[in-house]
């Protein structure tokens, strides 16, 4: 299971050693799944982005996003549910494709992700719905995202607004929580002892693996640096400066 932001690329900047790592997996016939908390792209858009930015070829079935995992969860627990999305076009499209209904009234589920065009009106609708009993589902808790210009606010900053407004805790789908890991493992068709979680963020990628009971590889190409690990009570299974140091 391989993270994207900070692991394969930083914004518009590819991480060259990551491409070598993927080529090594391909050469040895080792299955892998891109596992990302980013809910602003569909798997097809992720594939196009990988090809354009990193010159890495992939297929949509090799990508599992927190958006997909959230929609899977809602479709299972609220079939034909009425969903209000605080998120971007890709997530809204996935909600509709799953047979759920996009609404802005009589809301059963508020699905919140990163929404770079959100406004006070949208957040008011979401807050009011949650206060009136709608389920509060969040794609991922990421507070900051690595880009070519440094770190920018993530979905977790919007979650903080809604938590403060409603005094309610959300059900979180993405890393480091279990729902996305369960979905990813199911897609791979493997057991936990045969899988490793690869990522750059201790708080999401590495804790996801630790909490789910699988090995982890932390690459120091993104969010977490070596100095950050000193105070962590639970350590990654492996730490590498970049993925070229890892031999399969």
In this structure, the dihedral spanned by the alpha carbons of residues 166, 75, 77 and 67, taken in order and rounded to 10 degrees, is -50
Q: Do 142 and 154 contact (CB within 8 A), yes or no?
A: yes
- Between CA 94 and CA 170 the distance in angstroms is 20
205 catalytic residue (yes or no): no
Nearest C-alpha neighbor of 20 from the set 60, 54, 62: 54
Nearest C-alpha neighbor of 13 from the set 70, 64, 60, 52: 52
Please give the DSSP secondary-structure letter assigned to residue 231: G
For the chain, helix (H) and strand (E) counts, in that order, are: 8, 14
5 catalytic residue (yes or no): yes
- Between CA 45 and CA 121 the distance in angstroms is 28
Q: Is the peptide bond before 145 cis (omega within 30 degrees of 0)?
A: no
- Between CA 88 and CA 112 the distance in angstroms is 10
Catalytic residue among 3, 115, 200, 205: 3
Can you tell me whether residue 197 is helix, strand or coil? strand
Q: Do 86 and 123 contact (CB within 8 A), yes or no?
A: yes
Which residues are marked as active site? 3, 5
């Amino acid at each position: 299971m391989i993270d994207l932001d900070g692991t394969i690329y930083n914004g518009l900047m590819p991480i060259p050693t990551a491409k070598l790592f993927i080529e090594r997996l391909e050469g040895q016939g080792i299955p892998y799944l891109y596992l990302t908390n980013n809910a602003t792209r569909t798997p097809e858009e992720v594939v196009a982005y990988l090809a354009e930015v990193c010159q890495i070829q992939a297929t949509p079935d090799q990508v599992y996003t927190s958006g997909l995992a959230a929609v899977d969860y809602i479709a299972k627990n609220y079939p034909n549910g009425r969903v209000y999305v605080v998120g971007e076009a890709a997530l809204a499209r996935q909600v509709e494709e799953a047979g759920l209904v996009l609404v802005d009234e009589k809301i059963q589920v508020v699905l919140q992700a990163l929404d770079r065009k959100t406004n006070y009106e949208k957040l008011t609708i979401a807050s009011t719905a949650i206060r009136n009993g709608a389920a509060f589902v969040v794609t991922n808790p990421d507070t900051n995202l690595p880009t070519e210009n440094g770190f920018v606010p993530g979905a977790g900053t919007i979650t903080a607004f809604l938590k403060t407004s409603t005094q309610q805790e959300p059900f979180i789908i993405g890393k480091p929580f279990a729902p996305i890991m369960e979905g990813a493992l199911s897609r791979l068709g493997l057991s936990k002892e045969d899988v490793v979680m690869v990522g750059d963020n201790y708080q999401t990628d590495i804790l996801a693996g630790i909490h789910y009971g699988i090995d982890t590889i932390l690459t120091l190409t993104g969010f977490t640096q070596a100095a950050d690990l000193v105070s962590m009570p639970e350590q990654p299974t492996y730490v590498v400066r970049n993925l070229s140091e890892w031999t399969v």
